[in-house]
Structure 1
């Protein structure tokens, strides 16, 4: 009787779990069967949803419910607290599996090449998100002494950063934030947040719902300068061809013409302002210099030579995420992705790295919403199964599931399991129950391992 197809997935965030789901829904799952092991460097699964999505977005975190259904299936195993590149390597995985899928995502900040970026008070948005989301590998405190803050970027991450800075700690207390984050936010002095985009309203990358949510807080006044509402032929074409772009533009237009209210914290959305330098004194941020831009007819912009200095005490760079380079895999330094064709990893010479695949942000860069990774996974899995059908996969020397457990035990790796996640989940819910909260996130890695029964 033929054995099941054995597949390893490195990264247990949405991309990896969607890939597992696609494998389990394929014809191969019925005959000869599929066995999937997910390896995750964090003690808990769910990746960006747990450590990248703002805590006041339970709607997005609700995706976890669907991912749960995949990990609950008996053909799937989770190995948490296992780090690819140190605890195990590509050759190790190839010894146990017919195919290896990498879905490690992107959690680092993309570089912004302007003077002053290294000043004290210049922060990466990804680092800040890791702090308020209780990532176990970042410091427990965050400097929140700035009263005037600049946020660079006009995507959903910029909205998250701005909203967390502008809300009160008590507004965020009902969420899953851990005690250290609540105490840190109580000391937050931010009163004015200025969000800067170098292009116009039609080029903003906000999601309509995320943008509107910015105005729901009783403590946040959202302000848009009427002079920043401008469109050229390219912008008008973009609005006509994209419903979401049009909805974002209409929301911004409505905010630009309304009277400014008296809510205590203000978020100013600025367009046509391109950051050119972070200004400093004595090594600390004291301002931001921008160049005014104007539309060129195509939806792009050009500089006008007019500069403005904005008095701010901190700058948050929300200009995109970047993936970490994976050992033993080819790498595109400019895009920060693994070169591929249809999810098949492509070596420098143009050949497919046999039995090795990528999906999600490590494949196409950090663009699109979480749900968009489903299409990536389906395409990649279709090509993997085509390679399996045509006997293009390599044959592992130790395909038995027990060999993986023995290998990790021999290496002394304290790994968590899917059953362990249920224990950790129960512990976090128990912490929240006395306060009427759904959960309180456990932060320390050692505490997570203990509660998971690693």
Structure 2
């Protein structure tokens, strides 16, 4: 009997567990997570108003309810938790699916001013991540700048422009809902350093901006025309061509008077965040121009955009996990087809899948083939791995290490508590936003 620990219960972890039980009829899988709740970024990264994507939780639930899969939440691995070496002693194999836990920085003056945040911090707050801090994101803001032109940038831009009628039916935590519906933000500037044909957002996400009530999307035709591919998009890949067509339509639409405006800006590179009274007050940008090789170069022309709130959305980055090798340059664990490499040599019984394996790229579905490759490698090694005897239930050993695992009934108790909270507020399900309320709910069922 092969016992495998999967560290991380997001899509990559769940797809890894699914492949294991599908391809090996005798394997048993424990899916461990630092949080008492499963689903990773599907729960804590997908925007609250994206119900169709969030419904993917139902598919992941089926994996975690499999008779040979066990969810163990609230188990920290590495620093201040169960050492990776100890985990390897408890299981024949360990697959790390820990994602990319931090964000990239701009590296410019003023980036750490009050009022300047990563998009990750903002998303965690309105998604009720228990580690999130309410920093009063929108409290004093009239104008916001979102730096980046990917789907996360579109998400946070949309959240800043949403009203109470659209946010109340979601599972957004009540404090975030109250703050966002009271927001005085009237202008949101989403800014990219390159052109519209190189933007990373998908057309579906982009089009959602035009469907926001009481909101006008503004795009400058002259700025778009700086991109040669915008002028003639015929040779662009289909996805980029559709983006350009949407932007072209908005640029040609006459302006209307609305309470809120979203400004899509291109060919502007942030060079400094400017302060007033100790807080961010504006962002200084340098105008860029295509360099003919897919990048941009500075022009020496500058522009300032007023902003009391700045959110950077310029990508994620993996962080080292104590006891595992780490490639600082790429922010990943070195591997060969998912097998962890220590100083270039395969480490028996240690594997990676998801962003910590390949970097923060792809969509949710990209994790499925990534996980399958890793599982294929693991099962090829199974005959050697099972020779190492593993006695007893790892759950008892984890408890002996000081962990207090939240099992599936504990998670179901959290779900019930969130449904009850929503009903008490006249809403649907409302997420519990902090560690104490989550653990109290979990223990109510006796995990």
1:440 paired with 2:433, answer: no
Q: How does 1:86-235 map to 2 (within 5 A)?
A: 86-144=80-138, 145-230=140-225
In the TM superposition, what is the alpha-carbon distance from 1:408 to its structure 2 partner? 2.6
Aligned equivalents of 1:220 and 1:343: distance in 2?
46
Which of 323-332 and 39-48 deviates more? 323-332
Determine which of 406, 410, 430 is the counterpart of 1:420: 410
Write the distance in 1 (CA, Å) between the matches of 2:98 and 2:137.
29
Task: Report the 3-state secondary structure (helix = DSSP H, G, I; strand = E; otherwise coil) of the residue aligned with 2:210.
Answer: coil
State the alpha-carbon separation in 1 of the partners of residues 242 and 20 from structure 2: 36
Tell me the distance in 2 between the aligned counterparts of 1:79 and 1:42.
9
- Structure 2 residue 2 is the aligned partner of structure 1 residue 8: no
Q: TM-score, normalised by structure 1?
A: 0.92
Q: TM-score, normalized by length of structure 2?
A: 0.94
User: Could you give the per-residue CA deviations for residues 310-356 of structure 1, whole angstroms, max 9, x where no partner exists?
Assistant: 22222111111122210011111122211122111112x21012211
Which runs of at least 4 in structure 1 moved beyond 6 Å after TM superposition?
Answer: 233-239
Q: Is 1:47 paired with 2:7?
A: no
Work out the CA distance in 2 between the residues paired with 1:219 and 1:340: 50
Looking at structure 2, the residues matched to 61 and 96 of structure 1 have their Cα atoms a distance apart, in angstroms, of: 33
How many pairs were matched up? 442
Superposed CA offset, 1:43-80 (max 9, x none)? 10001111111111111101111111111101000110
Cα RMSD over matched residues? 2.0
- Please state how far the C-alpha of 1:234 moved relative to its aligned partner: 6.8
The CA deviation at 1:420 is 1.8
- In the alignment, is residue 409 of structure 1 matched against residue 399 of structure 2? yes
> Cα offset for 1:437?
3.8
CA deviation vs aligned residue, 1:336-383 (integer Å, no higher than 9, x gap) = 211122111112x21012211111111122121111111210111111
Cα 1:166–1:233, aligned 2, differ >3 Å: closer, same or farther?
A: closer
SS in 2 for 1:18: helix
Structure 1 SS opposite 2:280:
strand
Cα-to-partner distance string for 1:72-121 (whole Å, 9 max, x where unaligned): 10100011011111221111111111111000112322121111111111
How far is the alpha carbon of 1:265 from its aligned partner?
Answer: 1.0
Question: CA offsets per residue over residues 146-187 of structure 1, 9 Å max, x none?
Answer: 111111000011111111111123421110011111222233
Matched residues in 2 for 1:436 and 1:118: separation?
Answer: 38
Report the more deviating stretch, 431-440 or 41-50: 431-440
Deviation string, structure 1 residues 396-440 (Cα, Å, up to 9, x no partner): 44343x2x2212332342221122222211221232235564311
Q: Please give the secondary structure, in 2, of the residue aligned with 1:380.
A: helix
How far apart in 2 are the matches of 1:239 and 1:62? 36
2:443 aligned with 1:450: no
Q: For each residue in 1:227-257, what CA deviation from the matched residue of structure 2 results, as whole angstroms up to 9, or x when unmatched?
A: 1223766778986352211111111111111
- Residue number in structure 1 paired with 2:16: 19
Is the Cα–Cα contact under 8 Å of residues 98 and 356 in structure 2 kept in the other structure? yes
Please give the secondary structure, in 2, of the residue aligned with 1:287.
Answer: strand
Please give the alpha-carbon distance, in whole angstroms, between the structure 1 residues aligned to 2:280 and 2:250: 30
SS of the aligned residue for 2:403 comes to coil
Q: Distance in 1 between matches of 2:357 and 2:206?
A: 28
Q: 1:395 deviation in Å? A: 4.6
Partner of 2:322: 327
Question: What is the distance in 2 between the residues matched to 1:305 and 1:147?
Answer: 28
* Matched-pair contact (CA < 8 Å) for 1:234–1:297: no
Is contact 1:279–1:289 with CA below 8 Å preserved after alignment?
yes
Residue equivalent to 1:370: 364
